[in-house]
């Protein structure tokens, strides 16, 4: 039997879009989330600056990755449109001197509120590790 501590594990974020209650997190002072209707495929996610987070034509899967600090392959579940539909997000925190680590819980709360996002974290063995 192998030592369980030696197995390579990856974080798997299972996404469920639906109703549910979650713990309260810090929130943006002001935020807007709209479907992108530009018709082009250009995606622009700007690094947070001045307490602001801005994304243009971003896929929900990308936003989840930023909010929870995970990679796309670590996200599983949810409807097919989380990787195809684009959204424009503009959000401003009360404190203009915070960085991405302080903005992440705010983005999590925003996604939970606007998309009724529910996240379940679990560790799974990666098929590409030994």
| pLDDT per position as a tens digit, 75-88 | 988 899 999 999 99
Give the count of beta carbons closer than 10 Å to the beta carbon of residue 130. Answer: 6
Q: How confident is the model at residue 127 (pLDDT cuts 50, 70, 90)?
A: low
Note the pLDDT of residue 90. 97
Does the residue 21 lie in any domain? no
Does the residue 117 lie in any domain? yes
Does the residue 4 lie in any domain? no
Does the residue 6 lie in any domain? no
- How many structural domains does the chain have? 1
Q: How far apart are CA 99 and CA 51, in angstroms?
A: 7
Determine the angle formed by the axes of helices 60-68 and 100-115, rounding to 10 degrees. Answer: 140
Cα dihedral 71, 73, 78, 82 in deg (nearest 10): 70
Q: How far apart are CA 48 and CA 88, in angstroms?
A: 15
The yes-or-no verdict on residue 129 having pLDDT over 60 is: no
Q: How far apart are CA 49 and CA 68, in angstroms?
A: 19
Domain that includes residue 112, residue range: 26-124
pTM of the full structure: 0.78
Does the residue 11 lie in any domain? no
Does the residue 47 lie in any domain? yes
Q: How far apart are CA 9 and CA 28, in angstroms?
A: 33
Distance of CA 121 to the CA centre of its chain: 13
Structure letter (DSSP) for residue 40: S
Does the residue 8 lie in any domain? no
């Amino acid at each position: 039997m192998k030592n369980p501590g030696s197995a390579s594990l990856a974080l798997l974020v299972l996404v469920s879009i639906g109703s549910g209650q979650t713990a309260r997190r810090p929130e943006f002072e002001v935020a807007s989330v709209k479907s992108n209707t530009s018709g082009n495929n250009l995606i622009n996610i700007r690094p947070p600056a001045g307490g602001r987070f801005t994304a243009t034509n971003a896929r929900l899967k990308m936003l989840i990755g930023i909010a929870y600090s995970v990679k796309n392959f670590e996200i599983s579940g949810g409807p097919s449109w989380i990787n195809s539909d684009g959204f424009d997000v503009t959000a401003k925190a009360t404190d203009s001197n915070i960085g991405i680590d302080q903005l992440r819980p705010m983005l999590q709360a925003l996604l939970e509120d606007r998309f009724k996002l529910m996240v379940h974290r679990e560790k799974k063995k990666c098929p590409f590790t030994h």
